[in-house]
Structure 1
Amino acid sequence: MPQLETSTWFTTVLASSITLFVLIQMKISLHNFYKNPSNKYLKLHKSTNPWEQKWTKIYSPLSLPQL
């Protein structure tokens, strides 16, 4: 039974790995990725509600004094 020749395996595996890496990099570089969304057209709207200008306290019916 002849022995398996393994002296060229390192070169073959290394060349295959480099080739796959280059092919994947080329494939990724062809994609058009979207930019991060920006909020340059978004305006913050401050509402002018009367209850925002003063402090109010809400009483629960059970905490009111009994008459």
Structure 2
Amino acid sequence: MPQLDTSTWFTIIMAMLPTLYLITQLKLLSMNYYQPPLTKNPNLQTHNTCWRPKWTKTYLPHSQPQQS
């Protein structure tokens, strides 16, 4: 069985480490990092709406009784 032949393990491990390091670096460089939000301009006016600020629930209509 070739897996038990330990003479090639060192070469495979030494080739694997730089490859994994390179792949990790490329993945990290391609990530889009979070951009902090821009500061708000305090001179902006707030919009007044005609909506009531009260929370209201919307109920579904009652289900119809089954007719036999």
Q: TM-score, normalised by structure 2?
A: 0.42
Compare CA radii of gyration and give the structure with the larger one: 1
Q: TM-score, normalised by structure 1?
A: 0.42
